[in-house]
Structure formats: C-alpha cells, structure tokens
C-alpha cells in the first residue's frame, strides 16, 4: 500500500497554512496522459510543495546521495522518487523518467538541476529538453514564487502546456528545447 495519499495530506496540512500557499493555473494541468512538469528550484521544500499542489501524483528525480540514507531511501521510493547521479548522463535515470512519462504519469523536473542560491532563475540543463523531445508527454511550465517565510504568501503557478508539435516537427536540439522551457518558466515568474 502506498503512503503517498496519507503523506500528501499530512504535508499539505503543515505546508499550506505555514506558507499560505496559493495555487494558480490548475485548469492548465492535463487530467490524463504523460506530463513533464518543469519548475524553477528555490528550496528543498519545492518537491513537496509541487507534490501537494499538483492535481495528480508527481514522480521526481532526486540526487543519488539521498538514497544512501537508510530510512530516507525507503520513504523516497515509496513516494515515487528515483535516484539520479548528477554531473553526467545517468542512462538509468533517463530510462526511468521516460518510462514514467510513457505510462501516462507526471514527472516533476527541475531543469536547473540544483537550487538557485539567489532565487533567480538559472540556466537549464539539457535533461528537460531530452524528456520533452523523446516523449509524447505534455510539457507544463510551473513557477514557485515568493520567499519560503512562515505566514507570507507562496504562489505556485501552473502555465499552459507548451505546444510541442511545433518543436518536435522542427527537430530542435535538446539545448534549444530546454531554453524554450526556461523562457516559459521565466514568463510565469513575472506574473
């Protein structure tokens, strides 16, 4: 039995009132089919915040080092998180991500690869473009806006899916596709 629904409600009960989370654009989120959810990354709380605000279960990649912590490893796996070795091409993580999308699930992805120390949107890594171009998933940009300060407002904005037909037919590179995704996230950050 999955702990996900129970854990999601517990985490939501803590984070939503603490950070006064406001969610915008849920109507943009596809109700079915694979979704590559690309989000800026400003805090360690980003995955749980996305997990409690998205209308569907979100699977995430997490740095492989976290899977070396005995209790945490089991929790992460139960929540649908899988390891990725950062700093190079991790073929197993890429295969797992594509499988998640092919099975019609939601893959939460932080294109920057690590948290922004300044809060500004950083440069995206090619993984986002890879998943966008190698799958038939909808690509949904998302922005987490605000400081993670107790009792101030944190906004989570889901944008409209990017029209991938245009880019898949033009044969853009993974770097170009990542840049397009990052521009869509940047637009949401200005809202």
123-152: per-residue pLDDT in tens?
999 999 999 999 999 999 999 999 999 999
With bands split at pLDDT 50, 70 and 90, how would you rate the model's confidence at 1? very low
Q: What digits encode the pLDDT tens for the residues 106-125?
A: 999 999 988 998 889 999 99
CB-CB neighbours of 69 under 10 Å = 11
Average pLDDT of the residues of the chain: 92
Residue 71 parent element (H or E): helix 70-78
The pLDDT of residue 2 is 66
Length of the chain: 191
d(CA 146, CA 44): 14
* Residue 38, beta-bridge partner list: 109, 141
Cα–Cα distance measured from residue 122 to residue 188, given in angstroms and rounded to the nearest whole number: 14
Structure tokens at 108: 């939460």
């Amino acid at each position: 039995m999955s702990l996900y629904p129970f854990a999601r409600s517990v985490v939501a009960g803590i984070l939503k009132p603490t950070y006064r989370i406001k969610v915008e654009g849920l109507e943009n989120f596809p109700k079915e089919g694979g979704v590559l959810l690309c989000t800026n990354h400003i805090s360690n709380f980003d995955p749980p915040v996305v997990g409690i605000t998205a209308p569907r279960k979100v699977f995430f990649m997490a740095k492989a080092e976290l899977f070396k912590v005995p209790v945490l490893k089991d929790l992460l796996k139960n929540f649908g998180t899988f390891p990725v070795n950062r700093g190079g091409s991790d073929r197993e993580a890429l295969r797992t991500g594509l499988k998640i999308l092919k099975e019609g699930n939601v893959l939460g992805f932080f294109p920057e690869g690590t948290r922004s120390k300044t809060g500004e949107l950083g440069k995206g890594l090619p993984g986002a473009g890879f998943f966008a171009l190698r799958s038939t998933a909808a690509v949904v940009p998302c922005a987490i806006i605000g400081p993670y300060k107790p009792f101030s407002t944190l906004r989570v904005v889901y944008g409209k899916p990017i029209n991938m037909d245009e880019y898949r037919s033009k044969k853009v590179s993974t770097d170009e596709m990542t840049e397009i995704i990052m521009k869509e996230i940047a637009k949401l950050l200005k809202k």
